[in-house]
Amino acid sequence: MGKLPQKTQQALQAALRKARKWRRPLHWDGNEWHKELDAIARAAAFEACCYFDEQQSITLETFVFWQVLTVLRDFHRREWAYFAFHCGHLTRVADEGEAAVRI
C-alpha cells in the first residue's frame, strides 16, 4: 500500500484522535479496538484521496478528515448496535445481579 502525503496523514491522525475519545463498545478489547480503528481510518483516507475532486472548494486534508471521521463514526455506531442486539442482556443481568446482592 502506498504512503499518504504528510498533510493527509495529519488529517487522518486528527480524525483518529477524535474517534479514540469515543467510548469503546464493551465487547471489544481496547488494544484490538484501536488496531481496528487504525486500519479502517487508513483505508478510508486512501479511498477519500481517490474520490477527492479538486474542483470543489475544500482542501484535500479537510476532505480526508471528514471522510475518515464519518467512516469511523459509522463503524462505532454499528459496533454499539451489534453489542446492544447480541450482548445487551449481559449488562441487564449484571445490573439485576447487583440489585439482588443489595437486597
The rounded mean pLDDT for the chain is 86
- The answer to the question of residue 90 being in a domain is yes
- Full-model pTM: 0.80
Q: Which three cell numbers stand for residue 32?
A: 484490538
Residue whose C-alpha is closest to residue 20's, from 33, 11, 7, 2? 33
pLDDT for 99 beyond 50: no
pLDDT digits (tens, 9 = 90+) for 62-96: 999 999 999 999 999 999 998 888 876 655 544 44
Angle between helices 6-20 and 60-86 (to 10 degrees): 30
Residue 1 covered by a domain: no
In the chain, the number of structural domains is 1
Structural domain harbouring 28: 6-102
Domain-located, residue 27:
yes
